[in-house]
Chains A and B, each alone.
Chain A
Amino acid sequence: MSDFEHSRGRSGGRGGDKDKDKGEKGGRRTFFRRRRVCKFCVEKIDYVSYKDVKLLAPFIPERGKIQPRRISGVCATHQRALQNAIKRARQIALVPYTTD
């Protein structure tokens, strides 16, 4: 946990350096609170069902795309399961392909 805090602090520092030439970029970096734990591991969800829209919804941003792992912090195994589930849910119109 402290390791995570440390690395975050450092990246913030780097962002601060960049701030001098690109203020906007640095500000953006600190805007996102990254979650470094996999929700499915923590909650011990073994089977990601395509029927459970409530479960899938947080991983589908407004645009309708699947949230990348580097942002949501989901582990590789569960991201794969999640991806399958979202794609199935899309087929039966539980979840959008795109929204504009």
Chain B
Amino acid sequence: MSTTRQYELVYLTPPDATEDALGELHKQVQVVVDRFNGSIEKTENWGRRKLAYEINHQREATYVLEVINGPGAMTAELDRRLRVFDNVIRHMIVRVDEDLATADRAKTRRKANMAKRRVKRGLPPEPTDAELHRRREESDDFDGGGDMPFRGGGDR
């Protein structure tokens, strides 16, 4: 009896890896996932990205993200397999279902609270389009969009 959880797997391949090599990797992942009765929910290829630091003397890599549903034992096996492949220079598996569920709960709670407050004030529970529009205009001059991050020198 094993519970199904949701994981995100990110792996990095060298920038010179071919489409075939990527397809092969994906197939390998699929095999492991199938063996544990899991399923791949989504596969995203982020393409070539610059690395923040050098890995194996390389400055770029191809990123692939897979969202997988399956049991915990599956991640151990995936981890073991991915470490062996030459084509994978880095990988990471993160469990996401709990965090996403928490975020979802917070969102629904906020929405419910807002609706309650609005009803108390004698307004319809959902903001009307005109209100949303006005609020957007107000928030524009509040933050000024992407204002500069803080200058260095303050964090020592």
Residues of chain A at interface, number, CB under 8 A: 27
A50-B94, A61-B152, A61-B154 as given contacts; A96 in contact with B52, CB under 8 Å: yes
Residues of chain B at interface, number, CB under 8 A: 29
What string of 1s and 0s marks CB contacts (under 8 Å) between A9-50 and chain B?
000000000000000000000001000000000101011001
What string of 1s and 0s marks CB contacts (under 8 Å) between B14-56 and chain A?
0000000000000000000000000000000000010111010
Q: Does B138 contact A (CB under 8 A)?
A: no
Chain A contact residues: helix, strand, loop or mixed:
loop
Q: Are A46 and B102 in contact (CB-based, < 8 A)? A: yes
B70-78, B79-87, B103-111, B122-130 - the one binding chain A: B103-111
Task: Give CA–CA (A96, B54) in the complex, Å.
Answer: 10
The 3 A-B pairs of least Cβ separation, nearest first, read: A46-B103, A47-B103, A58-B149
A contact residues vs B (CB 8 Å cutoff): 32, 42, 44, 46-47, 50-51, 57-59, 61-63, 65, 67-68, 71-72, 88, 90-97
